[in-house]
Chain A
Amino acid sequence: MSIINDPRVVEFNIRTDEMLINMGPQHPSTHGVLRLVLRTDGEVVLGAAPHIGYLHRCAEKIGENLAPRQWVPYTDRMDYLASMNMNLGWALVVEKLLQLEVPEKGRHLRVLVAELNRIASHLVAMGTYGLDLGSFTPFLYAFREREKILDLFEQVCGARLTYSYIVPGGVTGDLPQGWLQNCAQFLQELEPVVDDYHALLTSNAIFIKRTAGVGVLPGEMAVNYGCTGPVLRGSGIDQDLRRDGEPWYTSLYDGYQFAVIVQKEGHYPQDHDYPAVPAEAVLGDCWHRFYVRMLEVVQSMDIVRQALDKYAAAAGDCGTPIKLNHKLPPGEAYLETEAPKGQMGFYLVTDGSAIPWRVRARSSCFANVSVTSELCRGCLLADVPAIVGSLDIVLGEIDR
């Protein structure tokens, strides 16, 4: 091949070579231990290959040696930013296998803590996204509010991060005295702060410049890659398991009013006066993924408010956790729930003993991170953290 036909020869005799760069597993903005191998030409990223497995802890294999109740703490450590939702997914699938219904009060309590944890998870996503873009302050503002949620959870179950609160059959304990008032007060405090977040990030000119039109994930591609959660909804696909899931899961939300946060005819369903979609933003870009999360915070606040009322009105107890030696009927069960990061599925095969024969977790982040190489092709080096951050991955869930 003559030198003229060599595509790497840009002019005269100057050859620009590609450079391989390891971004991670020790890198400030790969959200844990994700390793991205970037093929770069100057600042332009020609290709990005995510490498995972640095946080693999054999959680599924361990699940085949433990009773369902004992495996709950392992689910905590999957998406450790939304442990309640992980607990909930596992508890529901075991209950589905056992065909065990939790009482009304327990149902509302589960919605309450799961949605609170969704707020906490989205706050972290928002704060760390600010960090990825070089803005440090929103991170601390987000953590300040998240801290209050952790305080609430600490009152509930004594733990601040790994709750193991929702267990198959019920919860480890009912809410303490005065908790509902504390929670209502927190929601009141959070409401005005959300405006601050929008002022600092969503409507910030530099933020829009960095995110709008960057890492555009078309809806079709999102479906093909199995993306779920805010990533999918940010691409304009109207799907939320809380509404569209299996009845075993959606029955949890019976009687709750909420609108799925997705852009329809150029508008998001919102009753607040939050910043409008900027002209530069393309459906499916980083800005939309971020915005969906921000609106879901408000949506979850609304659901929590409803749950507070319903919980207070419900009579009875919150359910009784199953025993460790509870025999599991032979069979299998699979259930997907809407975790903050996407659809978290648990699969369970039993052979009649108290210990499952096979346990499997279907991670939403695993599917979400798989689009990284598609989105990062041809972007600039500075866009890589912006794209990875907008996918909001947690490596604990990907690697399990």
Chain B
Amino acid sequence: MVRERFPDQVRYASCVEHVIESAAVAEFLVHTLSLPAPLAYLLAALIHCGFILGLVAAGAVVFIWAERKVSGRIQDRLGPTRTGGKFGWLQSPADGIKVLAKEDLIPRAADRLLFRAAPYVSFSSSFTAYLALPFADGWVAFDTNVAVFFILAVLGLEVFGVILAGYASGSKWSLFGAMREAAQVVSYEVPLGICVVIPVLLTGTMNLTTIANMQAGWCSNWLIFHDPFTFAVFWIYATCALASVNRAPFDLAEAESELVAGFMTEYSGMRWSLFFMAEYSSMLLVSCLAVILFFGGWHGPIPVFDWLGWAYPGGASSWQLTGFLANLAGCVNFITKAVIGVTVMLWIRWTLPRLRIDQVMTMCLKYCVPLAAICFIGALWWQVAGWWSPNHWLPLRPDGPGGMRETWVVAPEAACGEVARRLPWADSAPPHGAARRTLPGCGLAGPPAGWRTGSPAAARGGVQ
């Protein structure tokens, strides 16, 4: 496997290799517990799987509980208070047991095979997307250079489960729900894709770990504050994400006042709850994606761990307790931000009425797509022209102001710089704030030379 100086070059490696390579857990097992390497890697892979499944399932369960509590508070009532003693914290497990014990009804008119398969399609696709989602620096099961792509693609598969469910139920209401979902999700993937491409454009990579690490430091370094267009595009992303995970006011596929329960009408028991879990986990997923793309991922508003010197320094080659703690705090930071995003989704759901299908489509095609495209061009222009960015407000790393400003060499940015140099109005003097950069057009701060750009293990791997 070739690892070049440019971390963003596509690496041709199997998933397994990636999982193993990026496994800090495996290193811990090998170095600290002195386990044989193959066993350690196997154990680490299992632990990763367990982590992700557990985290996502727990996340969904917690959000279902949170939805009850949040909606209760919004609606001037208490929500669950008794199940499990205080705060009704056992409500979701209790619901789970109830759902498990329910009869699994399959209507006579249903296509039995597809009817049974549909929930798994939805559920597994929204869970699979978590494979490529980093929770902290290097804490990712599948550290791939096309993580953004992977997540969008796999999340898009969820709609297949819904369409299958609607078709296989043999109910007209289900069919309506499925058709709505198909139209809506397929349409909203377009502006969502454009929105997601903008941070990718700015950072020059699709590797989520790298994207997040490039926003290290103060919150002014977050991509949402990069330029007005990224600020605008975040709101478009939020709208499209809401629509593509079918949350109110875009929950047309399961609009209970119109379609009874939409595509879930004929489902009961565990199959129904799989759809439910899929919905909540994709909510969390788009929220996590927003945090990484726009809000610095696990890099907090204040770079505490950089001051402390705990974060893994560039070129770190072994497991360290301080680095681990910094990562742990980063993970908590990351999840906190994501949870805030989900809470806003709940808030919106319990405040707004539902849009009509034609209004949803109009909003997508007439507003979201053009606006996202304009933002795309605007952000590109900003980058090419090398204009001032709020990213320059605060020093970014403790190793001195501008420490991060060195060109973080990526081919697209180099190309941008080349284009900028050839623009008719480009003069020889570097644009504002570009003094600290070696190439014009690199508005975004990158890590200093030697700073890890991928996962820690990947950086430590060096040329192999």
- What separation, in Å, do the CA atoms of A200 and B355 have in the docked complex? 15
Cβ of B75 and Cβ of A134 under 8 Å apart? Answer: no
Cβ of A130 and Cβ of B353 under 8 Å apart? Answer: yes
Q: How far is the CB of A282 from chain B (nearest CB, A)?
A: 17
Cβ of A385 and Cβ of B355 under 8 Å apart? Answer: no
Cβ of B355 and Cβ of A210 under 8 Å apart? Answer: yes
Cβ of A133 and Cβ of B257 under 8 Å apart? Answer: yes
In this assembly, does A157 line the interface, its C-beta being within 8 Å of a C-beta of chain B?
no
Which of A201, A206, A380 meets B358, CB within 8 Å?
A380
Cβ of B172 and Cβ of A209 under 8 Å apart? Answer: no
Residue of B nearest to A382 (CB): B356
Residue of A nearest to B252 (CB): A382
Which of B179, B252, B352, B358 meets A135, CB within 8 Å?
B352
In this assembly, does A381 line the interface, its C-beta being within 8 Å of a C-beta of chain B?
yes
A-chain residues with CB within 8 Å of residue B180 when the two chains form the complex: 43
In this assembly, does B268 line the interface, its C-beta being within 8 Å of a C-beta of chain A?
no
Within 8 A of A (CB), among B341-378: 350-359
Interface size of B by CB at 8 A reads 30
Cβ of B350 and Cβ of A137 under 8 Å apart? Answer: yes
For the A-B complex, the count of residue pairs with Cβ-Cβ distances under 8 Å equals 82
Known: A27-B260, A381-B258, A384-B258. A201 touches B77 (CB 8 A): no
Which of B172, B252, B259, B357 meets A19, CB within 8 Å?
B172
A-chain residues with CB within 8 Å of residue B356 when the two chains form the complex: 209-210, 380, 382-383
Known: A136-B75, A141-B76, A210-B356. A200 touches B351 (CB 8 A): yes
- What separation, in Å, do the CA atoms of A134 and B260 have in the docked complex? 12
- What separation, in Å, do the CA atoms of A206 and B242 have in the docked complex? 15
Cβ of B353 and Cβ of A133 under 8 Å apart? Answer: yes
Interface size of A by CB at 8 A reads 31
- What separation, in Å, do the CA atoms of A144 and B357 have in the docked complex? 31
B-chain residues with CB within 8 Å of residue A361 when the two chains form the complex: none
In this assembly, does A140 line the interface, its C-beta being within 8 Å of a C-beta of chain B?
yes
A-chain residues with CB within 8 Å of residue B355 when the two chains form the complex: 206, 209-210
A-chain residues with CB within 8 Å of residue B251 when the two chains form the complex: 134
- What separation, in Å, do the CA atoms of A174 and B256 have in the docked complex? 44
- What separation, in Å, do the CA atoms of A131 and B258 have in the docked complex? 10
Residue of B nearest to A214 (CB): B356
Within 8 A of A (CB), among B232-248: 248
A-chain residues with CB within 8 Å of residue B354 when the two chains form the complex: 133-135, 206, 210, 382
Chain A proximity mask over B252-264: 1 for CB below 8 Å, otherwise 0: 1001111110000
In this assembly, does B71 line the interface, its C-beta being within 8 Å of a C-beta of chain A?
yes
In this assembly, does A207 line the interface, its C-beta being within 8 Å of a C-beta of chain B?
yes
Cβ of B353 and Cβ of A135 under 8 Å apart? Answer: yes
Cβ of A382 and Cβ of B75 under 8 Å apart? Answer: no
B-chain residues with CB within 8 Å of residue A188 when the two chains form the complex: none
Residue of B nearest to A20 (CB): B172
Known: A133-B354, A134-B354, A200-B351. A385 touches B257 (CB 8 A): yes
Cβ of B257 and Cβ of A134 under 8 Å apart? Answer: yes
Q: What 5 A-B pairs come out closest when comparing CB atoms? A: A134-B354, A135-B353, A29-B257, A133-B353, A140-B75
